[in-house]
Amino acid sequence: MTNMPALRQPCPPGACDCGRDPLLETPGADVRILLLTRAEEKRLLERLENLQSLGDLERLQRRMHEQLGICVDIAPGFNEVRTMRGIAISIAELPGLCRKTRASIPAAIRRGLEKHPEVAYELLNAKDLLRDA
């Protein structure tokens, strides 16, 4: 007998547009995102806030994609970057991803970049900071 892994509890009715129930009802759907319980989400956010290097951030991005199906894109914004708000962090639409989680992941990454600005500088240099110079 196999144990089913714990799935995320449903959001209160009308509070979220994640589409958890239709995702569960669809046969063969990718339900990896529902494995992100609230406790696991807190661990993920804590890990994102305590980034140590650009390599660490890239590893976390890969693991989120492999384990949960979350695609996070981080790049310098369209205009110049003066603060961490100038770094564009986007998450691809994913059925089952709670809107609060969709907002808290970029916020945690920004907090991590603010704690360690050298990671933000590495990110900017990796994305060709001086491309127009």
- pLDDT of residue 96 exceeding 90: no
Q: Give the whole-number percent of the chain exceeding pLDDT 90.
A: 34
Average pLDDT, the chain: 83
Task: Provide CB contacts within 8 A for 81, sequence distance 6+.
Answer: 87, 124
pLDDT value, residue 56: 93
For residue 50, pLDDT beyond 90: yes
Choose the most confident range, by mean pLDDT, from 20-34, 42-56, 90-104: 42-56
**Kind and range of the H or E run holding 100:** helix 99-115
- The Cα–Cα gap between 76 and 118 comes to 15
Q: Across residues 5-27, what is the average pLDDT? A: 79
